[in-house]
Amino acid sequence: MGNVFLIAEQKDGNIKRVSLEILSELNRQGVTTTAVVPGFGDLAKVTESLVKHGAAKVVVLEHEVLNEYTTEAYAKALHTYLVGQNPSVIITGATSHGKDFLPRLAAKFGAGIAADCVSFQFSGERVSVRKPIYAGKCSKIVDFTTGPAVFSVRPNVLATQEANKSGTVEKVAANPGTVRAKVMSTVASQVKKVELTEADIIISGGRSLKSADNFKILNDCAATVGAAVGASRAAVDAGYAPHDMQVGQTGKTVSPKLYIACGISGAIQHLAGMRTSKVIVAINKDPEAPIFQKTDYGIVGDLFEVVPLLTEELKKLKSQS
């Protein structure tokens, strides 16, 4: 295969797991990959992790304007660098940033784009991708007839694996040109939450919680084990939770070690976002709820009674450890 580039995503000097997932799969398929990291400052931890997971070369695209993400700066800087590298394939994670800058970057190359793919396959000088359609009810294979092939990969659908290889690290001064938008400041939430796509344990609530205030019982339970709290689309649409908590086809795709669904019926839209979880537990009053067909363990009962009991038992287990 020709020149394959992974646009790796980092935040505050920490690599996003989806970048390592993509890189690990490229390495398993024997594809020599250059990882490009836009940013500024100390990114030693990021470059070390990328090399460890199989990057033959890591290019740190440095410029102070890339310290804070903006669509225009990322797309311009990446295009200016990549256009001189004759890329055959450009890949990134289907994160909020990836979904934002990749279409603009593809347009600069005059290339098509396949977004939110769940797998990809290299064969000789060609690459094909698989992406879900119709809310995950089926999928289609997309082949690229002209280059570069540009696509993004959904987080948490591929496994990470360290590689016994060595790679080089190069720093390149980025040239984003004139950037019309500038981030003046970033205000972080006062509540520190575990990122859904990075969490090993997730506890999600549905419309059965009846109000935003009732999500407190999930937050209390999650706090005992360091879990993230998610929500179904129905709960988000009802105003019980913000969109950044939504798990599902139009929300975030997660693949934790343990997923606990509380008062979630199991619509196909929600299942599409969490079906690859290692262990799935459902708590629902309705014994006929569709989600029970996808779970490893099910509890038929009122979540307002079951979840507080679960919290107490988890606290006891934690105190014994």
Q: Where are the beta strands (DSSP E) in 3-148?
A: 3-7, 10-11, 14-15, 33-39, 57-62, 87-93, 114-117, 119-123, 126-133, 138-143
Mean pLDDT (the chain, rounded) = 91
Q: pLDDT-based confidence at 166, cuts 50/70/90? A: confident
Q: What domains lie within the chain, and their CATH numbers?
A: 3-173 (3.40.50.620), 196-320 (3.40.50.1220)
**Mean pLDDT across the stretch 39-62?**
93
CA distance 259 to 200: 8
149 — pLDDT class (breaks 50, 70, 90): very high
The model carries a pTM of 0.80
Q: Confidence class of residue 320 from pLDDT cuts 50, 70 and 90?
A: confident
Whole-angstrom Cα distance, residue 241 to residue 243?
7
Give percent above pLDDT 90 in the chain. 69
Q: What is the pLDDT of residue 191?
A: 60
Predicted pLDDT of residue 133: 83
How far is residue 22's CA from residue 8's CA, in Å, rounded to a whole number? Answer: 9
Q: Please, which residues have CB within 8 angstroms of residue 109's CB and are 6 or more apart in sequence?
A: 79, 82, 83, 87, 90, 148, 150
Residue 51: is its pLDDT beyond 90?
A: yes
